[in-house]
Structure 1
Amino acid sequence: MEPLVSVIIPIYNTEEHLSKCLDSVLNQTYKRLEVILINDGSKDNSLEICEKYKSADSRIILIDKENAGVSEARNDGVKCSSGDFISFIDSDDWLDNNTFDEMLKIALKTDADIVMSGFYINNEPHMEYSGRYIITNQSETLNLCYKLEKNYSTGVCNKIFKAKSLKQYLYFDKDIAIGEDMITLTNCILNSKKIICYEKPFYHYIRWSGSTVASFSPKMVTCALAHQKVINIIGEKRITKELKYLIELRNSLFCYDYLCKAIKFGYLNRRIITTLQNEIKGNIRKLIDSKVLSGKRKYIIFPLSYSYIFCGFLAFMNKIRIKH
């Protein structure tokens, strides 16, 4: 019998994108799926859309619950799952229709615990595709996920996990709002015997104006805690100098991006701003030496990271610019 794939989809107020997401899953060329929808207290018509799809396809399991965040929703989905493999998709993203067919063939051929694929961001491939896959060890996989360019992402969505090996590690920390899946993925990698990295993109990440990454929330500061937890999980004996550098650089880059968003949206809570500034200051040389930041962003990094008043001035000027 073909293996069962559990597809876990947490849903919160994504009515505009939900049908495309669900269609992309239900129309997969690989049919033996268990599709677990977790409506996390949506206030729009997401629940009605889920119920409509559930009535038309017996493969769907629908969980309707009060809002508790994406981590709790994913955890509920994992508990409910009975598949041989587990996959995740965000409800505003979508998949190519041959995703599970191709990834499962590789997983079964190689007896891999995790298969990672390339992905698209707003329909643009994130890396070049050579038509090959590579078998990697834990250290190599972590480097491939945490490097800043042409990576396999530190999220769980463009991957399939063998349930027998990893279901117990597919737990998401509800106290981490940004980077919770990064902690989960790192745990899974460190408990895998064989991992496959397949460059071909299947997963479509969509960045739209209402998404978490396109706005600002004070919960974004938990990103710094997530990166520190990752370093602790890997441990001083296992972490390489290169990997630690990548994780710290990545954390500083995210915090710099969140600080800029806080200013853009006029959020000037001193504790939040100071927390982000401290994370940047600790690795400011790494940011300046990196090729990721533009010249303009490097130019203002010192006043932005050391002066709360300067942040307030930029927020004020941005507010004036918007009004005019």
Structure 2
Amino acid sequence: MVKNNIKAPLVSIIVPFYNSERTLEKCLTSIEQQEYENIEIVLVNDGSKDKGLEIAKNYAQKYKNIKIFSQKNLGVAVAKERGVECSTGDYITFVDSDDYILPTYISDYIAAICKYDCDICISGYSTLKNGNLKKHLLSNRSFSIQKAEAMSDLLKDGFGDFFCNKIFSRKVMRYFKLDSGKNYEDIRECYKLFQYANTFFYVSNPGYVYVIHSGSITSTPSKKNRYDLYEAKIGQYLFFKENGYNDAIKVAYPSLIEVASKYLLFCGKLRNRSYDNMAKKIIYEAKLQDISSYKLKVLVILIKIWEGRKW
């Protein structure tokens, strides 16, 4: 909780939603049940065709801290940007409309912010799949993090290169800009926001619950998803190289090998020469002893044999 002599910062919680009538009520209830009270909830309706907007309006009538903004279906990236533009908080965080948060989620952040004056706070989180709840923690303790360490932690379980378990200062969010029409917007943007921050703090309490649904956009193995994921990961990797984040490069490389392999195998006509050359270089330089997954080792060997004819 915030000490009496410290001004309680306003927290903006941005919730984009599209056809979320089955989950939105639980999401909004969890936000309204937060122990920390100085909160505004910014709901962005991304052209819903179900009863999601009606549910949102009912909550807005009951709770005065809810704002609703509607747009035609432009995608989650545009909805998130709209939410940031319409928010007024000192700190900004995101909650997906099919997820929910535990009562101390925001107060845990605020305690760290008021004590350490953090630009970005990160928390552990839980995943809920088929009724099974699993905690994901980088550590069992809470602690301050240096920027270089935070960059490498982005690729680790219990931390992650996504928005949902993080809170950002308004100063950092001035640089928030997403690529519309492309998936994996979190991976594309998180490391850029980290670059603009100076102070980081990790909260071990897993107050965010990420609900895993089969058939979600990013879990579907389409050509576009594989292309977008490779593009996001190669951009992240090149950024780490250009800025000298050597530990982050080491952590990022194994997953980059996997997404580069799937890009070469499955992206077909979406492929382009520049990305092809980078992907082939990644596979060519991959050392089998550094790959822990047997399936990925086999995949790399097959690609080296097949693509080797063309190099």
- Which residue of 18, 21, 24 maps to 1:12? 18
Residues 28-85 of structure 1 show CA distances to partners (whole Å, capped at 9, x for unaligned) of: 1112111011111122222222122222211111111111111110100000010011
- Rate the CA distance shift 1:96–1:304 in 2: closer, same or farther, 3 A: farther
**TM-score, normalization by structure 1:** 0.80
Structure 1 residues 212-231: aligned runs within 5 Å: 212-220=217-225, 221-231=227-237
Name whichever of 69-78 and 182-191 sits farther off: 182-191
Does residue 124 of the first structure (1) align with residue 134 of the second (2)? yes
Number of residue equivalences: 294
- Structure with more helix by fraction: 1
| Residue in structure 2 matched with residue 188 of structure 1 by the alignment | 193
- What 5-or-longer segments of structure 2 have no aligned partner? 1-6
| Residue in structure 1 matched with residue 4 of structure 2 by the alignment | none
- Rate the CA distance shift 1:81–1:14 in 2: closer, same or farther, 3 A: same
- What 5-or-longer segments of structure 1 have no aligned partner? 263-268, 309-324
The percent of aligned pairs where both chains have the same amino acid is 28
- Which residue of 20, 27, 30 maps to 2:33? 27
Residues 120-153 of structure 1 show CA distances to partners (whole Å, capped at 9, x for unaligned) of: 12220113652x2221121110011124xx3410
| Residue in structure 1 matched with residue 172 of structure 2 by the alignment | 166
- Rate the CA distance shift 1:210–1:17 in 2: closer, same or farther, 3 A: farther
Does residue 203 of the first structure (1) align with residue 202 of the second (2)? no
Shift of 1:249: 2.8
Residues 231-266 of structure 1 show CA distances to partners (whole Å, capped at 9, x for unaligned) of: 454562x22333223334323334556889x7xxxx
Q: Kindly provide the amino acid, as one letter, of the partner of residue 283 in structure 1.
A: I
Contact 1:136 1:196 in 2 (8 A): yes
- Which residue of 247, 271, 279 maps to 2:269? 271
3-state SS of 1:169 partner: coil
| Residue in structure 1 matched with residue 298 of structure 2 by the alignment | 299
| Residue in structure 1 matched with residue 256 of structure 2 by the alignment | 251
**TM-score, normalization by structure 2:** 0.83
Q: Kindly provide the amino acid, as one letter, of the partner of residue 212 in structure 2.
A: R
Name whichever of 132-141 and 278-287 sits farther off: 278-287
| Residue in structure 2 matched with residue 283 of structure 1 by the alignment | 282
Q: CA RMSD in A?
A: 2.8
| Residue in structure 2 matched with residue 152 of structure 1 by the alignment | 159
| Residue in structure 2 matched with residue 265 of structure 1 by the alignment | none
Contact 1:4 1:85 in 2 (8 A): yes
Contact 1:154 1:181 in 2 (8 A): yes
Q: How far apart are the structure 1 equivalents of 2:126 and 2:253?
A: 25
Contact 2:240 2:248 in 1 (8 A): no
Q: Kindly provide the amino acid, as one letter, of the partner of residue 52 in structure 2.
A: S
